[in-house]
Each structure stands twice: as structure tokens, then as C-alpha cells.
């Protein structure tokens, strides 16, 4: 495992991503990763907050269209996250990175759950059930934890 990570780190692409003075290398990847975070979490939080009872004038059904926006943010960050991994694979051995990945998996599972529970019946209710509200509250918290662990990686690795 360590050997594999070392060979990734020694590859020309990894070296370019990490050391190139070009703004198209590390800085652009990092900027897109931040943008993807904002789009994914921002769109998810707006739906979560609406489900929890804020901004009631917005019909819950319309917010089904926020889900493709979340997925766009997710895939942007899966791609840029993979590039950041290639640039600095030793970070992947830290415990905090494992926590971050696990928390993101929970956050993504909650998106799928929210979509199927709040929108799965064909007819959208304007008042969410207690169960759907619990999913939204967990989703809100999961992304706070994902952001916290992601930021923390900058200080431990």
C-alpha cells in the first residue's frame, strides 16, 4: 500500500499537480474543489432547511430540481478530490482523511434517502413527516462534520 502510494507520488502527473507553478495545476484543482463543496452542500442545505420548516413559501416539490445540482457538485468534487489524492497520496494514510471519506459516504447516503423518502411517492407533501425531518437534520450535521474534517486535514497532514 505504501509502495503504491509512493509510486503515485513519484509519477510525473503527481509531481506536476503538486509542484508546477502554473495556476492550472494545484490552485485550480483546489478552487474547483471548494466550488463543488459550496454547490453540493449549499444546495443540500437549502432542501434540508425547507424540509425542516424554514422558507415555507417555497413549494417542497420544486426543490426536487436541486438534486441534480447536488450531484453536479458531488461529481466535481469526486474528480477534483481524486486529483488532490494523486497530488499528495500520503494524506490518504491519515485517520482524519478516513473520517472525512466515511462522513461523506453518510452525507451521500442521506441525499439518496431524502430523495426517495420526500419525493419518492410521486406526490410531494408540503409538510415533511418527522422521519424525513430527521434525515434533513442529520444531513445538515453530516456536511458540517465533512467540512470540519476536510479543513482539519490542512493542519495535521
Partner 1 sequence: MTRAIVVYLKSTAISHAMSMSPFLWPICEMLHFIGLALLIGGAGLMDLRLMGAFKSIPVSAVMQVRKWAALGVAINVVTGTLFFVGAPDQYINNPAWYGKLLFLLVAMINVAVFETTQGKKMLNVAGGEDTPVSFKVAGAVSMGSWFLVLYFGRMLPFLGNAF
Residue numbers at the binding site for partner 1 (CB under 8 A)? 23, 26-27, 30-31, 34-35, 37-39, 41-46, 49, 54-59, 62, 65-66, 143-144, 147-148, 150-152, 154-155
Q: Do residues 99 and 156 make contact, with C-beta atoms less than 8 angstroms apart?
A: no
C-alpha cell of residue 113: 434517502
Nearer Cβ to partner 1, position 4 or 57? 57
CB of 155 to partner 1, least distance (A): 5
Is 46 or 109 the residue whose CB approaches partner 1 more closely? 46
Q: How far is the CB of 56 from partner 1 (least distance, A)?
A: 8
Phi, psi at 100, each rounded to 5°: -60, -45
- What one-character-per-residue DSSP string does 84-138 give? HHHH-GGGGGSHHHHHHHHHHHHHHHHHHHHHHHHHTTSS--SS--HHHHHHHHH
User: What is the closest distance, in whole angstroms, from the C-beta atom of residue 53 to partner 1 in the complex?
Assistant: 12
Give least dist CB 86 to partner 1, A: 19
Amino acid at each position: 500500500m505504501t509502495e503504491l502510494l509512493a509510486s503515485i507520488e513519484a509519477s510525473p502527473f503527481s509531481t506536476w499537480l503538486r509542484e508546477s507553478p502554473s495556476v492550472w495545476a494545484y490552485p485550480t484543482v483546489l478552487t474547483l474543489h471548494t466550488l463543488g463543496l459550496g454547490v453540493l452542500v449549499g444546495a443540500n442545505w437549502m432542501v434540508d432547511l425547507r424540509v425542516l420548516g424554514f422558507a415555507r413559501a417555497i413549494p417542497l416539490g420544486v426543490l426536487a430540481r436541486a438534486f441534480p445540482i447536488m450531484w453536479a457538485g458531488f461529481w466535481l468534487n469526486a474528480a477534483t478530490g481524486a486529483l488532490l489524492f494523486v497530488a499528495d497520496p500520503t494524506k490518504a494514510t491519515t485517520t482524519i482523511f478516513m473520517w472525512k471519506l466515511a462522513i461523506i459516504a453518510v452525507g451521500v447516503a442521506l441525499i439518496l434517502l431524502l430523495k426517495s423518502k420526500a419525493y419518492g411517492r410521486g406526490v410531494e407533501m408540503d409538510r415533511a413527516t418527522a422521519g424525513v425531518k430527521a434525515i434533513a437534520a442529520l444531513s445538515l450535521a453530516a456536511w458540517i462534520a465533512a467540512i470540519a474534517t476536510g479543513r482539519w486535514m490542512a493542519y495535521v497532514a
